[in-house]
Chains A and B, each alone.
Chain A
Amino acid sequence: AQRVTQPEKLLSVFKGAPVELKCNYSYSGSPELFWYVQYSRQRLQLLLRHISRESIKGFTADLNKGETSFHLKKPFAQEEDSAMYYCALSTGNTGKLIFGQGTTLQVKP
């Protein structure tokens, strides 16, 4: 079965602390994985995708096929990072994007 698991509903850190939002997936094929972010009162938007191997707003995520994980990391959290973060799995060329349950990141001053 295709599934995305984000074990933490809420992650609360202080400004300047490192952040790791966890994501595990279940998929028998070759996965495409993404992180989407939804800031307060803004639309859901793509943050980054694993095939790009890029850093966006200081965030990075590495696909670990052995551990079936795609954790999102940032070394120093900023207050403006507070948002809902969704990990998502694309199952090939079907048009289907499966979202995890989401993790709310709260960065305290």
Chain B
Amino acid sequence: DTEVTQTPKHLVMGMTNKKSLKCEQHMGHRAMYWYKQKAKKPPELMFVYSYEKLSINESVPSRFSPECPNSSLLNLHLHALQPEDSALYLCASSPTGTGGPFGELFFGEGSRLTVL
């Protein structure tokens, strides 16, 4: 399996809902990422996990809560989101953790989130 798989592909939620986005990879990659992408804009980094530990949090609001249960899985828990949080959320992985070349990222297709 050489892909990053994200579920769900589409999610609509209200501002009081709690939901989660899931990401899975079975390539043995040791770093995993969450990016947020608005229409016609580049991806913006949210979180980086290296060897299952959170290594970067780009000052993301606490209504987004990442979790890395094991080396193959990455979750993004969503609670009390705002309409401006509507975006495409991309998960990515890279072969090496801290100390290695990070640039080669493998992206999932994304979860398109709409907050009403």
Contact = CB atoms under 8 A, between A and B. Distances in A.
A37 to B, nearest CB: 11
Nearest to B110: A43
Interface in A15-47: 32-34, 36, 43-46
B105 A97 contact: yes
A109 to B, nearest CB: 24
Interface string A57-89: 000000000000000000000000000001010
Interface string B20-57: 00000000000101000000111101001010000110
Interface residues of B, number: 26
Interface residues of A, number: 23
A95 B31 contact: yes
Interface string A87-100: 01010011111111
Contact of B107 (A44, A90, A98): A44
A95 B100 CA distance: 9
A93 B90 CA distance: 21
Nearest to B47: A95
A95 B109 contact: no
B62 interface: no
Interface of A: 32-34, 36, 43-46, 49, 51, 86, 88, 90, 93-102
9 contacts: A32-B102, A32-B103, A36-B105, A44-B107, A46-B106, A93-B98, A96-B45, A97-B105, A102-B40
Interface of B: 31, 33, 40-43, 45, 48, 50, 55-56, 90, 94, 98-110
5 tightest A-B CB contacts, nearest first? A99-B42, A90-B103, A95-B48, A44-B107, A43-B109
